[in-house]
Each structure stands twice: as structure tokens, then as C-alpha cells.
Structure 1
Amino acid sequence: MLEQRGMTGKQLAARIGISETQMSLFRSGKVRGVRFTTLSAMCAALECRPGDLLDYDFAEADLPKGDGA
């Protein structure tokens, strides 16, 4: 998405107010979570939707443990 917008990760990080390290971790898929405000800011700056930035592969460990009640 950055390439499509002619922007670098460093430029996006500066524009939305996060560190370059956080941007690098997000881009590499090494973050365990992202705040909705950060995701919203990324989408606004890149003129995209969250699904354009995120992907998900099913993992059984993501399901809650227990009886579900």
C-alpha cells in the first residue's frame, strides 16, 4: 500500500505520529496488536481500508479456552 501511495514507512510513521520501530514491526508482521486509533490513522493517511493492511491466518490457539458459556 505504501508503494501504491508513493510513500515510505518512515514518512507514514512521521505523518501518523508513531516511531519508525513500531512501523517496521507492523510491516514485518511482528506486532501482537495494534490500536484502532493507529490503524485508523494509517488508513486515513493511505486512503485505504483496514483489510488492505491486515491479513489473518487461522490459528486454533486464537480461540478461547473453556466451554464458551
Structure 2
Amino acid sequence: MLRLFVSLLMLIALPPLFAEPSQPKTGLVLSGGAARGLAHVGVLKALEEQGVRIDAIAGTSMGAVVGGLYAAGYS
């Protein structure tokens, strides 16, 4: 009975995992570096002007700070 339940649950849950998203996702990775970190602000501004929607953002060092502020809603 448990085996049947698990099989039915998998049949219901798996199709959405393989469904192709209607719109591609965009990820942005920002590098580190104190002075270069300010250049990320200009890149984010240019991407916003072009209408590029960023779905995920990651960074290291100053890139993480800028990415975190952007993700929090700062522009």
C-alpha cells in the first residue's frame, strides 16, 4: 500500500519539475575587489535601463555587498 502511495505521489509531483519555463531565467555573478566593486553599480544601472530582469544574483567580497543591496531593493 505504501509503495502504491509513493508511486502515485511521484507521478503527480514529477511533471512540473521537467516543465520548461515560459521565460528564461537570468543570473548575474559579481566579482570581488574594493574599487572594482563600484563598477558593479554601473553595470546594474545599465541592465535596468535595457530592461534586463535579474532572477538570481551572486557575488564575492564587494560584489556580494553590491548584489545584496540590489537584491534588497536598493538601486
Larger radius of gyration: 2
Q: Same fold (TM over 0.5)?
A: no
Higher relative CO (Cα under 8 Å, sequence separation at least 6) belongs to 2
TM-score if structure 1 supplies the norm length? 0.27
